[in-house]
Amino acid sequence: MSETLAERLAAVRERVAAAARRAGRSPEEVTLVGVAKGVPAERIAEAVEAGLDHVGENYHQEARAKLPELRARLEAFGLPLPRLHFVGRLQRNKAREIARDFDVVESVDRVELGAELERRAAEAGRELRVLLQVNPDSEASKGGVPPEALHQLLAESASWKHLCVAGLMAIPAPRATPEASRAAFARLRELARALRRQPGGGSLRELSMGMSADFEVAIEEGATSVRIGTAIFGPRRRGGGDPA
Ligand SMILES: *Cc1c(COP(=O)(O)O)cnc(C)c1O
């Protein structure tokens, strides 16, 4: 790829806006999260300088190693840190650090994990935004609560005072073409709509779905947030990590 990072970011933003308009939605309704696993701090800083204001990370250890340099580089530009989203598999023993380092946790899929994050956010005096991760294909190898267990998780989340449960996140199984993912995205939108009618579900406004290969279809089907790595930062090196 010969384009610069800023050019690729601008091209993705244009595609996001065009997909939103096709669906009769305003482009501002869709948050672009740049997923930076395997991307060095210097490149992330370059993207933030070009206007990226939400950055996602999958691995806490990697994020933590990059944060000081990212902070220092942005300070040199006079820029604040972007909003940091944790999008990887959550582990209970990392909850304390995640509650301290991240603003949004998109991968809450078990009551125990939510309760631990709540405890750690309270200790840190922070309020975190969280999404409940649903596993729409009930794939055993993937994170996420099965759709039928979502009601229970939502009910339990009512006691989390330092976590604002803002919506759902999902990583549907990859399909051969973006169009082939449309039905899965539409089902997630309907699932979110049904939950909003449940007691305590009224605040579930966000729907984080769609990645580099299929974000336009996801937006057409109601995504309010897309998580994009490759299309912004370029291909990952082998071992750079795939969605959990
Ligand atoms: C890696 C990753 C992405 C971005 O994937 P791309 O295909 O590179 O856009 C999005 N969401 C999650 C959870 C990921 O792990």
Q: Is the CB of 107 under 6 A from ligand 1?
A: no
pLDDT tens for each residue of 89-105: 999 999 999 999 999 99
With the most atoms of ligand 1 within 8 angstroms of its CB, the residue from 1, 58, 139 to mutate is 58
- Residue 101 tokens read as 């380092």
CATH number corresponding to 5-232: 3.20.20.10
What mean pLDDT is predicted for residues 66-74?
97
Phi/psi of residue 163, nearest 5 degrees? -115, 125
Q: Which residue's CA is minimally distant from atom 1 of ligand 1?
A: 243
Q: Which residue's CA is minimally distant from atom 12 of ligand 1?
A: 243
Instruction: State the pLDDT at residue 1.
Output: 52
Q: Is the CB of 142 under 6 A from ligand 1?
A: no
Q: Is the CB of 90 under 6 A from ligand 1?
A: no
Of the ranges 150-159, 198-207, 211-220, the best mean pLDDT one: 211-220
Q: Is the CB of 170 under 6 A from ligand 1?
A: no
Report which of 192, 201, 176, 180 is spatially closest to residue 225, judged by C-alpha positions.
192
Of the chain, the percentage scoring pLDDT greater than 90 comes to 88
Between the CA of 211 and the centroid of ligand 1 the distance, in Å, is 6
Q: Is the CB of 228 under 6 A from ligand 1?
A: yes
Which range among 23-32, 54-63, 168-177, 234-243 shows the weakest confidence by mean pLDDT? 234-243
- Model confidence at 241: pLDDT above 60: no
pTM for the whole thing? 0.95
Report which of 234, 231, 96, 108 is spatially closest to residue 164, judged by C-alpha positions.
108
Q: How long, in residues, is the chain?
A: 244
Query: What type of residue sits at position 49?
Result: E
- Model confidence at 79: pLDDT above 50: yes
Domain residue ranges in the chain? 5-232
Which range among 10-24, 111-125, 194-208, 212-226 shows the weakest confidence by mean pLDDT? 194-208
Q: Is the CB of 30 under 6 A from ligand 1?
A: no
The answer to whether the beta carbons of residues 136 and 187 sit under 8 Å apart is yes
